[in-house]
Amino acid sequence: MIKIGKIPFLNLLPIFYYLEKYCSDRYSFISGVPSEVNDYLRRDILDISPSSSIEYLRAPESYRIIPGHSISSIGPVKSIYLFTKKPLKEIAGEIVLHTYKSETATALLKIICERFYCMGCKYKESRLPLIEGLNIASGYLLIGDEAMVEFRGNQFYHVYDLGEIWHKETGLPFVFALWITRRDLTDETIMHLKDDLNKAKIWTSEHYEEIAKASPLSNILGENYIVQYWMSLSYELDDEHMKGLELFKRYLLESELLS
């Protein structure tokens, strides 16, 4: 049975809803936040996962991409937010915390702050809640469901959507995650995986309302908000997405962040 990394975030709920509903005889699922799933794939605990794009860019010779599939944004991503106590450019030189959950978002944060805005901030990983973190730092990057809940309830902080800033500065999509497999998976297995993901993408786009009702965040964010969030994401991987991915790679190399 193929072992798939399952990231329990709202952005991937539709895909996993379909896979668990219709393909559970073919796959087993191992849960983890993006940084954990990256590690599981690296250590061959998984066969495939929607892993951080930076994980693929570090060692493309170790993986194979499932064509046509990603978790991307073309503009606001609505789930990767930098919360700050002051306007962004006023925290230059100060401490910015970032969640331990995402390597790609952390690297993007540094590119935005240093390459785009030349801010000279000091970055520290954190597991603190938002309010506690911003008691000791000027900014805090959160991702996924936690970021969405904090954004919806925010009354105190400035908030910056990293996908929106990337698109404004580059004009390109930002690829947060790719569906990647171990290099030794057979062409036949990858073909079947791609076919299931193709079906999942089509089916879920027609059943967002049903899936939103099953979301544990439906009572917090509201079903309509969740549906609009999914509709705003890009699950494609076309030429423009690849241009965005290549530009991200170039910036990572030039900033010495690809290690």
Same domain, 188 and 140: no
> Does a structural domain hold residue 42?
yes
Same domain, 142 and 204: no
Same domain, 177 and 50: yes
Per residue in 119-164, pLDDT (tens digit) is 999 999 999 999 999 999 999 999 999 999 999 989 899 999 999 9
For position 42, what pLDDT does the model report?
93
For position 153, what pLDDT does the model report?
86
> What is the Cα–Cα distance from 20 to 27, expressed in whole angstroms?
8
**Domain closes at, from 170, 187, 218:** 170
Query: How would you list the strands of the sheet with 95-99, edge to edge?
Result: 122-126, 95-99, 139-143, 80-84, 158-161
Contact 45, 30 (CB under 8 A): yes
In this prediction the pTM is: 0.95
Q: Which domain holds residue 90?
A: 80-170
Contact 179, 65 (CB under 8 A): yes
For position 259, what pLDDT does the model report?
75
Tell me the CATH number at 104.
3.40.190.10
Query: At residue 228, does pLDDT exceed 90?
Result: yes
Per residue in 10-46, pLDDT (tens digit) is 999 999 999 999 999 999 999 999 989 999 999 999 9
| DSSP bridge pairs for 71 | 177
Contact 181, 190 (CB under 8 A): yes
**How many Cα atoms are found within 13 Å in the side-chain-facing hemisphere of 155?**
1
Chain-centroid distance, C-alpha 224:
21
